[in-house]
Amino acid sequence: MDRVILHCDLNNFFVSASCLSRPELRQKPVAVCGDASKRHGIILAKNQAAKRMGVKTAQAIWQARSLCPDLVTLKPDYPLYMALSDTVRDIYGRYTGHIEPFGIDECWLDVTPYTQSGGFGRRIAEDIRKTVKYETGLTISVGVSWNKIFSKLGSDYKKPDAVTVIDRENYGRIIWPLPVRDLLSVGRSTRNKLELAGINTIGDLAGAPLPLLRSLLGKNGETLHAFAAGQDMSPVKSVEHHDTARGIGNSMTTKHDLRSDDEVREAFLILSEMVARRARAKRLQGRVVAIYLRDNKLEHITRQVTLKRDTFISDEIAYHAMILYQNNWDAHLRPIRSIGVRITRLSPIDRCVQLCFFDMRRVSPQSLEFAKDDIIGRFGPDAIIRASLLHTVVHDRHPKEVHDVHPLSYFLS
């Protein structure tokens, strides 16, 4: 018997959540936006009414208003979004213990043990959809299929507030005509390579010779072929939703473009302090340090490095972030507008590890980090400030763009 996998996607989550307490806005074009005064002036999310007027995610606010003069803009409320996300996942937990988050607003659910047939999977999906709507006021779209890839395509197929079943009888008719860019993990670069080879739809990808796909995309070509053909059998990775973070990060859009290594180093110190403090608060440490850089032309890169040992020390995170920057970017040639740091491959701080003699010199910095946390907890975030950051005018010492990176099941270890 085939598995029964659901993909549940909260519709227009940020906007819908922000409008829960303002029902008068529900029929109006609404967008959640960054702070234009701090150069965050882009559309983060929009509702269907705004979408119909041509408003797009990542569009500048002024561009959106030129298309939709009546657009209502709201500031993001991340604590509200996290609380509602937890509430919805609690609802999912009534139906199955096999829940895998895919960001704050999406989850896969494996309900195979609780179904007798795929048709019964639709009944569970409809029940979840109605329960979420009744108890939270939010709507979800649910895809039902025998694998995670097709169930996600199903939740995207019909929105909002809908259930779509992709089974072995209809997947060729529903899935294969879709553009190849709709398939999970097909980004712009991969799409361009496939389209240049005449592979424009998911059906084209499913029917393409494997040697061709290997020559175009390497091992990733085989994986995407399996996705398109409905052969993905990856499990739903059950995680407790209160401890779903796969990575902890912070980013900021700077007050002016960074044009020197000293300015970049200062930004990494600020961000690393915040990331390390949040990791310690969760009693976590990371083995991988990653950076995000975006220039003033909106081109960006991400780079990462695996460390020899786990860390929650801000100086170590900042050091490795700076090395990644120096090996991959030059702010003199490409001024930086937005910058971020995160740690991934997390593990508990309290787990037992075998120390070597040279690890003992890290005990003092680790103790210092916890001492800083105690002081900041008692007297506020400005109780301890690095001397090098005391007079900074380049950055906000307390960046607000916080990112808990949730499990992304594919191509991540």
Catalytic residue among 106, 273, 316, 401: 106
With residue 264 as reference, give the H or E element that holds it.
helix 261-281
The edge-to-edge listing of strands for the beta sheet with 401-405 is: 300-311, 284-295, 336-348, 247-258, 401-405
Distance CA 186, CA 365 (A): 42
Please count the other Cβ atoms lying within 10 Å of the Cβ belonging to residue 192: 11
Distance CA 7, CA 151 (A): 5
CA distances from 172 to 105, 205, 209, 229 (A): 28, 12, 18, 9
Reference 340, options 355, 359, 361, 325; nearest CA is: 325
Residue 408, SS3 per DSSP? coil
Which pair of tokens denotes residue 365?
Answer: 């910095």
Please count the other Cβ atoms lying within 10 Å of the Cβ belonging to residue 333: 8
3-state helix, strand, coil in the chain (%, to 5): 45, 20, 35
Which pair of tokens denotes residue 397?
Answer: 């010492």
The edge-to-edge listing of strands for the beta sheet with 43-46 is: 43-46, 30-33, 72-74
How many whole angstroms from its chain centre is CA 352? 30
Task: Please give the DSSP secondary-structure letter assigned to residue 295.
Answer: E
Which pair of tokens denotes residue 226?
Answer: 């399996």
Distance CA 358, CA 355 (A): 8
With residue 224 as reference, give the H or E element that holds it.
helix 219-229
What region does 283 belong to: left with phi over 0, alpha with psi -120 to 50, or beta? left
**Is position 106 annotated as part of the catalytic site?**
yes
Reference 74, options 126, 115, 20; nearest CA is: 20
How many whole angstroms from its chain centre is CA 67? 28
Reference 241, options 78, 106, 411; nearest CA is: 106
Active site residues: 106
